[in-house]
Amino acid sequence: GEDVEQSLFLSVREGDSSVINCTYTDSSSTYLYWYKQEPGAGLQLLTYIFSNMDMKQDQRLTVLLNKKDKHLSLRIADTQTGDSAIYFCAERGGGGNKLTFGTGTQLKVEL
Amino acid sequence: DAGVIQSPRHEVTEMGQEVTLRCKPISGHDYLFWYRQTMMRGLELLIYFNNNVPIDDSGMPEDRFSAKMPNASFSTLKIQPSEPRDSAVYFCASSVSGGDEQFFGPGTRLTVL
């Protein structure tokens, strides 16, 4: 099956930028997503990018997609303590309704 | 809208017992997804429905797991008999159509002793 991989843990200082990386194997991916999960809660969609784009910016969030290398990243500018959470990368294969999620990256923001 | 509603939020049961998890999707959403989240395997799709019909149940671990959607506003995930390895957080999500954003419920944390 398709695979999505992320590093498990990232620690940054408040005010710095965070960059969370993701790699995937499905060459037919149409959409790629970033979800945020806060403790004890479900996943919340942060942003997404269509596979024919290479960058998308939304306020403090910047998504970069390198389709050739199947690499996706999420940059959070001016990271705040409220950004501490688990971030999941997910991809949607061509023509399908199913999402394949990565293992999640736990972001810890320190003062 | 109240969002996706799941009940119970926490369930503790003993091995061999039947467990039923419930989900109410967002009104107007035609797709409903059941996921399981564990530390070892991450987030896995178990099954999804379109207009109350199961479309893909290839993620259901084994015959002990079953899911139903008797109407557009209610779905259940049943485990019978339950085993300790079923301990996980089970999420329900819904979307307007298959390609749209999935809205997740708060999850049910299941512990099987």
> Mean pLDDT per segment of 10 residues, for chain A of length 111 residues?
87 97 89 92 92 93 95 97 95 80 94 90
CA-to-CA distance for A62 and A73, rounded, in angstroms? 8
Interchain CB distance below 8 Å, A31 and B99: yes
- Over range B40-46, report the average pLDDT: 89
Residues of B in contact with A44 (CB under 8 A): 104
Q: What are the C-alpha distances in Å from B111 to residues A23, A56, B85?
A: 32, 40, 9
As a residue count, chain B comes to: 113
Q: What's the pLDDT score for residue A2?
A: 73
pLDDT at B1 > cutoff 70: no
Q: What's the pLDDT score for residue B99?
A: 75
Is some CB atom of chain A closer than 8 A to the CB atom of B96? no
Q: What proportion of chain B, given as a percentage, has pLDDT over 90?
A: 87
Helix, strand or coil for residue B98? Answer: coil
B 25-44 → A contacts, CB under 8 A:
31, 42-43
Helix, strand or coil for residue A83? Answer: helix
More confident residue, A29 or B75: B75
- Going B29 to B30 to B36 to B41, the CA torsion angle's sign is negative
SS3 content of chain A, % helix, strand, coil (to 5): 5, 55, 40
Q: What's the pLDDT score for residue A41?
A: 87
pLDDT one-digit tens code per residue, B88-101: 999 999 999 877 78
CA-to-CA distance for B100 and B29, rounded, in angstroms? 10
CA-to-CA distance for B33 and B91, rounded, in angstroms? 8
Q: How many angstroms away from the CA of A88 is the closest CA of chain B?
A: 9
Per-residue confidence band for B84, with pLDDT thresholds at 50, 70 and 90: very high
